[in-house]
Structure 1
């Protein structure tokens, strides 16, 4: 972090001893880091710490102290840490909230993470853990400052290129965009419909050395099987009925730039063979042609399909999968990054109010809570459509629950799973919960992912991480 950049931290705990100890640790972090590196990566002067003895006092302090991070104890009288987290998420969605919980209290840690906390730390305090959390947040802010348009008002929220978010999962995506955009590597972007895969492809191209070259977007799902080769690789005059002139294909038009193949899982097998050749050699022939053309085109692909299942069903070539999967970026569904919902709601509210010349000032607390609670199967695209509808029909200056459709206001039905934990390890608790849900759903991965409220791709990766396999 540059020497002139200040990270403001608000420590909240009802115990004076805990507040002073945490403040002392934070004050000493910068001095230790500077001594280790010989640089002012994080200095004592760069970490400005204030304290509050309750959730209510913390909210009063935030009116005049624009904190970047709030570190709050979870167990406090009157307004506890989770209630404070909820208030901060509604009022100041750009603040990173870190929850402090007693060692062994897994339930509080899990609840806080699901409620949108950035991270959690355990008591008794560990210098290295607190230092790591602060450095991680500092790194994420640095990513944003390099490619993000914050505007003059720091409370507007975080944007990376045109992608809005501050959830840790999105910071991982931002970091990958920054790293991969410098290369020519082929990228596969996966994620559910409406998660913003095209925006990520945009960011990769416009942050790359190819930004001044062409950027060709192709919706593979919209191409008919008879014309897909012609669209991608072009055709010669007379190549087929209706081919009255020579035509360049998308790959040729993207020479020197980037081609984005959206919904690549819908490309027919014969075309996949031609696509594999382009990726391996950079060469192809137009339909009806004999000359071999060579192009310098960077390829970015996206899909909402499970390509592993498509390979098993012989609908997608395994060799093509490994060729396009040089760099894999997974975009999390909106239900897995609920802390971004207030940011997105405020962004779309402002956008559609500007377009319709309406003056809706805010979303009420009750309406925002409904929006946060909803599962958003259509992800960010669905949220944008909902807010556009709200703006069109809202008659007042505040969005109320009555302005939201009945579907949003319905309380989601959830299934309860009884879980007994023999350890205070959060990873072990997560693995135990996943195995329990998988058993309850007869190892139906789609149903298990739904019950766990995570994407199926996330479930796959977690199962691999924890070594969870279906019994033979």
Structure 2
């Protein structure tokens, strides 16, 4: 018989605890424990290593968000689901931003509860084949060196598995520091080319003169300094995968050569006449808006469509808050080993500060912040005082809406905000819904309500 899934249910109402244990605990696959307060839940977790926690949002002394924050600090691998009433859905959204895996409405629909458990179990088992038990206990599970158990990351993992089985060219988009190179490496590792080479180059770091030589190689005497023949990355990566990072920064001349490879599968070394066949899987990445670059004639339209056969978007860290404790502990492990310091973890205030910060530099910035804290810390626990001053400054609101007159209503403000976000996202409804942190169906409804139409 397989190992049972351990579930901790937390609610200050004893009746709810009894009902949950009765309904879910009767399933032989699950082992259920209950607690009637946040403090009791933390004590119970010391003896009961749960796989997931369901907690009521509104509880005395320690509410659900406070409990979840403490759980994420102590057990970052745990999946936490929030329970809330219809009148507190705004708080549930706050809980999702603070790192909850999902939320369910009370009174509980146990069919929905069982589906939520099944989803968590599926995601949990997806990690088990990629992590050692020690990894799982320290920082949660990882997927081909990508650390994250936020719902957005599961979507990425599923797409990686699907894309890896094809030979399609992939374009990975996302802000700087979101781990686009890890996604590319994961696609290669899951593909039939996994035994071949995986080579990557940052196109932005090479001058126009060097890009062509680096990618396609050159013949002796092709240019000043070319003292011998050199094989380019397309030759070196034969039978494997070539990852071109910052593809949006290559020149028009190089774009033409890349287009020829994608269309015909052949290329020539710089200064050469021999036609060579390219046997590589191409993955590209950029933090630029290539669609806009095409419109502005800075990137070839035909090449854009060739490299954008499959598109994956790496989510920014601010949209996967539940992964911050996982990543922070991972980076702490790394820098603690390098420094030789005996640092045990983060204080609750320190972790709350990390989860509240907006992370414009994403995972790369988080790594730098943790390294800074390890360098300057003199204690066994990292505290807010160990972080740079920038991180400790009060968070600034992302955006604001000006009230134009004393008669402005809340509906006026909401309609104005929705219209402005839609304009900023060029009326891309999915991106606008993500930016507003609402479901796309909700956005449709509000557009109808306020008679908002694309010009």
TM-score, normalised via structure 2 length:
0.88
Which of 19, 22, 25 is 1:21 aligned to?
19
Matched with 1:56 is 39
Task: Tell me how far 1:154 sits from its aligned partner.
Answer: 2.0
Rounded to whole Å, the distance in 2 between the matches of 1:283 and 1:433 is 56
Matched with 2:360 is 377
Q: Is the 8 A contact 1:149 1:161 kept in 2?
A: no
Residue 433 and residue 177 in structure 1: after superposition, are their counterparts in 2 closer, same or farther (change >3 A)? farther
Rounded to whole Å, the distance in 1 between the matches of 2:31 and 2:439 is 41
CA RMSD, aligned part only? 3.0
Rounded to whole Å, the distance in 2 between the matches of 1:349 and 1:124 is 40
1:302 matched to 2:285? The reply is yes
Rounded to whole Å, the distance in 2 between the matches of 1:258 and 1:341 is 30
Q: Is the 8 A contact 2:73 2:346 kept in 1?
A: no
Task: Tell me how far 1:241 sits from its aligned partner.
Answer: 3.3
Residue 18 and residue 321 in structure 1: after superposition, are their counterparts in 2 closer, same or farther (change >3 A)? same
Rounded to whole Å, the distance in 2 between the matches of 1:190 and 1:388 is 27
Rounded to whole Å, the distance in 2 between the matches of 1:14 and 1:24 is 17
Which of 6, 9, 17 is 1:8 aligned to?
6
1:200 matched to 2:183? The reply is yes
Matched with 2:340 is 357
Task: Tell me how far 1:455 sits from its aligned partner.
Answer: 8.4
Task: Tell me how far 1:295 sits from its aligned partner.
Answer: 2.0
Matched with 2:105 is 122
1:314 matched to 2:297? The reply is yes
Q: Which runs of 5+ in 2 are unaligned?
A: none
Q: Which runs of 5+ in 1 are unaligned?
A: 29-43, 423-431
Task: Tell me how far 1:21 sits from its aligned partner.
Answer: 2.8
1:211 matched to 2:183? The reply is no
Task: Show the 5 A alignment for 1:101-180.
Answer: 101-151=84-134, 154-180=137-163
Residue 201 and residue 190 in structure 1: after superposition, are their counterparts in 2 closer, same or farther (change >3 A)? same
Matched with 1:437 is 417
Q: Is the 8 A contact 2:77 2:136 kept in 1?
A: no
Rounded to whole Å, the distance in 2 between the matches of 1:416 and 1:328 is 32
Q: Deviations over 1:280-307 (max 9, x none)?
A: 3321122222332112101111111111
Rounded to whole Å, the distance in 1 between the matches of 2:440 and 2:263 is 30
Residue 395 and residue 16 in structure 1: after superposition, are their counterparts in 2 closer, same or farther (change >3 A)? closer
TM-score, normalised via structure 1 length:
0.85
Residue 215 and residue 150 in structure 1: after superposition, are their counterparts in 2 closer, same or farther (change >3 A)? same
Residue 71 and residue 192 in structure 1: after superposition, are their counterparts in 2 closer, same or farther (change >3 A)? same
Task: Tell me how far 1:239 sits from its aligned partner.
Answer: 2.7
Q: Deviations over 1:333-354 (max 9, x none)?
A: 1111111111212221121111
Which of 260, 265, 279 is 1:282 aligned to?
265
Q: Aligned with 1:256: secondary structure?
A: coil
Task: Show the 5 A alignment for 1:266-281.
Answer: 266-281=249-264
Rounded to whole Å, the distance in 2 between the matches of 1:200 and 1:411 is 33
Residue 273 and residue 416 in structure 1: after superposition, are their counterparts in 2 closer, same or farther (change >3 A)? closer
Rounded to whole Å, the distance in 2 between the matches of 1:461 and 1:365 is 26
Q: Is the 8 A contact 2:201 2:244 kept in 1?
A: yes
Matched with 1:256 is 239
Task: Tell me how far 1:161 sits from its aligned partner.
Answer: 2.3
Rounded to whole Å, the distance in 2 between the matches of 1:152 and 1:303 is 31
Q: Deviations over 1:414-465 (max 9, x none)?
A: 256699899xxxxxxxxx998542446794459x99xxxx988954998987
Task: Tell me how far 1:237 sits from its aligned partner.
Answer: 2.7
Q: Is the 8 A contact 2:425 2:431 kept in 1?
A: no
